[in-house]
Chains A and B, each alone.
Chain A
Amino acid sequence: MRPWPRAVPPQKSTDELTELRRLLVRPEQEDLRALRARLDNKERRAHEVAEILPEAVTLTGRRSEELARALRPAVEDSVRASVEKRPQFLVDALHPIIGPIVRRSIAENFRALLQSLNQALERSFSWQGLKWRIEAWRTGRSFSEVVLLRSLVYRVEQIFLIHRETGASLLHVIADSVAAEDPAMVAAMQTAITDFVHDSFKGTKKDEALDEFRVGELNVWIERGPQAYLAAVVRGTPPRELRGCLEDAIERIHVLRGSDLLRFKGEAAPFESLGTEIEPCLRAQYQPKKAAASHARAWFALSLGAALLVAALIVGAASERRWDGFIRKLNAAPGIAVTQAKHHWLRRSFVSGLRDPAIADPFALAREAGLNPERLRFEWKNYLALDDPSVLRRFVRRFGKPPETTLTLADGMLTLLGKVPYEWLEHVRSEGRQVPGITSIHEQNVEVIFDPARVLERFREKFPPPPALRASYANGILNLSGTVPWEWIDQVRSGATGLPGIKRISEENLKIAYDPALVLRRFIDRFNLPDSVNANVNQNVLVLEGEAPHAWLTRVRRGAPSVPGISTVNEEKLIDLDQRTFQQSKAVIESAFVYFLLNKENFATEGFAALSRLPDEIRRCLSAASRLGLEVQIEVRGYADSVGEEKKNLDLSQRRSNAVKDFLVKCGFEPSLFRSMGMGAPPPPAAGEAQPEQADRRVAFKIVPKT
């Protein structure tokens, strides 16, 4: 475009000037007019702008991002308004693009998933994978982190763009899943360290500085530009090509933002867009994958793993069923109430609740359910269960249950049925009601059975047996054999059947030994041995010597054989005192004669003297007879001489007998004691026997049993 003509000031006349101006500047005026018309014509101007707009936008975009920055809000608002008002329009417009993009994205992701799965299989089922897992466990890192580090050749984890002069962080880019410190402070410290190294080694040239340093597994590569430098934090050993990448990046940064770097006053915003220059340097390289054989092995391992997984699921399901069954059983068991149960696979399963410790044994239930009690952890709070099953179980836990005994419990009454061992029953009788929940015990229908050994034990305890004794027990009978002292068996006989289970004693094969001294002692204790009697025992024979009253003798005769150890009584050397007295008195009385006067029933003098001595003798005789248990009569036999008439003589003999009887009755005897008998003439005396003259006129006596 040509420059505008400078305006001419008015001189002579306006017309001339106008004409002159017209002549001089007419072309320009016309151009100006045409230009104004062109500018005023919006449609035309729009066409013209449309012609140059694409080129202008392209040029502006190349020079800077100002156009993009200026357009960004308007474009964003426009797109947002369009999405809100006509979403379908954008959907239709984007559909041809979105579809392939989505499909491609899915395919890429699926491929990445498969690759990831392959890698995971290789790493999980290989020896190396196992080592990495151990390392992860040992170092506390995640497995994926260990895998990444061990399969890594190098990886650029962070890149700092740092202002050289101030050490300020201008930009910080970071690889995925890398933890980073505050970039401002790291950049400053990085700068300080670099300066420190530079200053510490005075021999270095001005442009020489710290290019790299290593911290453990990390390398820090520094690439300098005039105003800024890049510090790349690299894990592993990077190739030299990375240095080239950093060099290119820092050069491009200085080309793009050199002036901003020069004018830097702390504002980092202008450098935010430089990420695209730096990010290509966030490179990584991993060790190449192994041959396909590892895939086959991995797939085999996967199959094996799947099979193991299925097996584990089956086993797990069975285990779960077992666990559920166990918990149900536990809850149903008397004396247990489960409040919480947790089934664990890798640690001990847990059950808590209430438990009556006297009744329930959860470990036993666990064993019954097929669970290992050592894999269980119980936490119980104790309580006293009073339902019938719990009470019965508590009773059984305390007393046990004989195999042939039936126990039932209802309303606190324990009923025993069947065969019940005696010892168990005794225990239950004494302590059964101490069991909480049992108020009475009903045992009327039980059959008590006895353990022979326990019966004999009780027998021996009660009656300590002599050495020669053999004892056995069966069916309520105590069988004794051997030789035992009478004193021992006597106690057994009186007391053994009082022992539980012994109904009777069998002594068929038992011999009883008697101690003579003890036998005699027992005899004396029983019969009060008179002083006039000596006694001893010899081979079960009681030998008596001396004199004894008839009554005692009679008692001995009757009772001595019943004394243990005395079978018979030898009394050959024992005199019956009463018998002797009786015989003596009898002899005296029967030898006495009461003589009478001739032909009279009057006593002769010597006859009366004899008669007067008779009452005492008769009394002694009657006393002895009484002690002997004899009832006697005394025949008073009257005689008369044969001179004269027989009838008279018989009558006289009767009267003489009556006279004696009367005399004796008057002496105090009962009349029935005497039987007066008129005998007539006495029998002639034996040859050679001398008789006094009045011998036929007498009364004689005869003691006879009472009729």
Chain B
Amino acid sequence: MIQKKVCLLGTSGVGKTSLVARFVHSAFSDKYLTTVGVKIDKKLVPLDDTNVTLVIWDLAGDDDFQRLQTSYLRGTSGYLLVADGTRRITLDQALDLQSRVVEVLGNVPFILALNKADLTEQWEIDEARIQSLVAENFSIIKTSAKEGAGVEEAFAQLARRTMQPA
């Protein structure tokens, strides 16, 4: 059995905890998120030839990266960068966050999840912006924690990428 530590990163209110809740049946209370700044869950993800246990560290979102508990990133095999599609600024913050994470972790696999895909009419991130990020080799998946769209795919893709050699 292979365990992989993955983190969820993103500013507050983008729906990280909701994505985890949609993906797994949470065992720990959410109070850990507010107390220690992290909530941990686990989910077995079947891949083509093996099963991977994702130990998901849901890090408390903060607009200020300086306040992020960077020690929580240590040993991370990959991370899900989450932004709120209805708030353009959360994407900017996520990208800023990602560049800082690179400073700490180096080039670790990640997926950019544009959440709240169920509210497309309220989206502030246009397709051109998305395509420009794709052009920069960003792996982007639109997710909806409310309806479940893209959630399984995002985590499965992240798991697959953690298994690929660096």
Complex Cα distance A169/B57, Å?
A: 14
Beyond A182-B27, A184-B53, A185-B28, is A199–B71 a contact (Cβ under 8 Å)? Answer: yes
Looking across the interface, which residue of chain A has its beta carbon closest to that of B2?
A266
Q: Is the C-beta of B36 less than 8 angstroms from some C-beta in chain A? A: yes
In chain A, positions 178-204 with a C-beta closer than 8 Å to chain B are: 181-182, 184-185, 188-189, 192-193, 195-196, 198-199
Residues of A within 8 A of B75 (CB): 163-168
Interface of chain A, main secondary structure: mixed
Complex Cα distance A199/B74, Å?
A: 13
Q: Is the C-beta of B16 less than 8 angstroms from some C-beta in chain A? A: no
Contact B2 A184 (CB under 8 A): no
Nearest Cβ distance between residue B35 and chain A, in whole angstroms?
A: 9
Q: Is the C-beta of B5 less than 8 angstroms from some C-beta in chain A? A: yes
Complex Cα distance A169/B40, Å?
A: 13
Residues of A within 8 A of B40 (CB): 185, 188-189, 192
How many residues of chain B are within 8 Å of chain A by beta carbon? 26
Q: Is the C-beta of A262 less than 8 angstroms from some C-beta in chain B? A: no
Complex Cα distance A675/B75, Å?
A: 182
Contact B28 A192 (CB under 8 A): no
Q: Is the C-beta of A59 less than 8 angstroms from some C-beta in chain B? A: no
Beyond A195-B72, A199-B71, is A185–B42 a contact (Cβ under 8 Å)? Answer: yes
Q: Is the C-beta of B146 less than 8 angstroms from some C-beta in chain A? A: no
In chain A, positions 105-158 with a C-beta closer than 8 Å to chain B are: none
Beyond A185-B28, A189-B32, A192-B36, is A165–B1 a contact (Cβ under 8 Å)? Answer: no
Complex Cα distance A164/B69, Å?
A: 16
How many residues of chain A are within 8 Å of chain B by beta carbon? 24
Contact A188 B36 (CB under 8 A): no
Residues of B within 8 A of A24 (CB): none
Beyond A185-B42, A195-B69, is A268–B37 a contact (Cβ under 8 Å)? Answer: no
Complex Cα distance A406/B38, Å?
A: 94
Contact A267 B2 (CB under 8 A): yes
In chain B, positions 53-105 with a C-beta closer than 8 Å to chain A are: 53, 55, 57, 69-72, 74-77
Complex Cα distance A192/B71, Å?
A: 8
For B37, B40, B69, B72, the residue with the greatest tally of chain A CB atoms inside 10 Å of its CB is B40
Residues of A within 8 A of B27 (CB): 181-182, 185
Complex Cα distance A199/B104, Å?
A: 15
Partner of A184, one of B36, B42, B70: B42
Q: Is the C-beta of A269 less than 8 angstroms from some C-beta in chain B? A: yes
Beyond A185-B55, A188-B40, A188-B57, is A269–B71 a contact (Cβ under 8 Å)? Answer: no
Complex Cα distance A164/B71, Å?
A: 11
Nearest Cβ distance between residue A202 and chain B, in whole angstroms?
A: 12
Q: Is the C-beta of B161 less than 8 angstroms from some C-beta in chain A? A: no
Looking across the interface, which residue of chain B has its beta carbon closest to that of A269?
B1
Contact A195 B74 (CB under 8 A): yes
- Our count of residue pairs bridging A and B at CB distance below 8 angstroms stands at 70
Contact A192 B53 (CB under 8 A): no
Complex Cα distance A264/B28, Å?
A: 26
Contact B28 A198 (CB under 8 A): no
Contact A166 B71 (CB under 8 A): no
Contact A266 B37 (CB under 8 A): no
Contact A192 B72 (CB under 8 A): yes
Residues of B within 8 A of A189 (CB): 28, 32, 40
Residues of B within 8 A of A166 (CB): 3, 5, 74-77
Complex Cα distance A185/B57, Å?
A: 10
Looking across the interface, which residue of chain B has its beta carbon closest to that of A166?
B75
In chain B, positions 1-51 with a C-beta closer than 8 Å to chain A are: 1-5, 27-28, 32, 36-38, 40-42
Complex Cα distance A195/B77, Å?
A: 18
Complex Cα distance A198/B74, Å?
A: 13
Residues of B within 8 A of A185 (CB): 27-28, 40-42, 55
The interface bits of chain A over 262-279 (1 if a CB of B lies within 8 angstroms of the residue's CB, else 0) are: 000111110000000000
Contact A199 B53 (CB under 8 A): no
Contact A169 B3 (CB under 8 A): yes
Residues of B within 8 A of A181 (CB): 27
Contact B41 A168 (CB under 8 A): no
Beyond A182-B42, A184-B3, A198-B71, is A193–B36 a contact (Cβ under 8 Å)? Answer: yes
Residues of A within 8 A of B42 (CB): 182, 184-185, 188
Complex Cα distance A167/B40, Å?
A: 11
For B4, B5, B42, B55, the residue with the greatest tally of chain A CB atoms inside 10 Å of its CB is B55
Contact B55 A196 (CB under 8 A): no
Nearest Cβ distance between residue A369 and chain B, in whole angstroms?
A: 58
Complex Cα distance A185/B55, Å?
A: 7
Among all A-B residue pairs, the 3 with the closest Cβ atoms:
A166-B75, A165-B75, A195-B71
Q: Known pairs A196-B38, A269-B1. 8 more at Cβ < 8 A?
A: A164-B75, A168-B5, A182-B42, A185-B28, A185-B40, A185-B41, A196-B69, A266-B4
Residues of chain A whose beta carbon lies under 8 Å from any beta carbon of chain B = 163-169, 181-182, 184-185, 188-189, 192-193, 195-196, 198-199, 265-269
Supply 22 A–B pairs (Cβ within 8 Å), ascending by A.
Answer: A164-B75, A165-B75, A167-B55, A168-B75, A182-B27, A182-B42, A184-B53, A185-B27, A185-B42, A189-B28, A192-B57, A193-B36, A195-B71, A195-B74, A196-B38, A196-B71, A198-B71, A266-B2, A267-B1, A267-B2, A268-B1, A268-B3
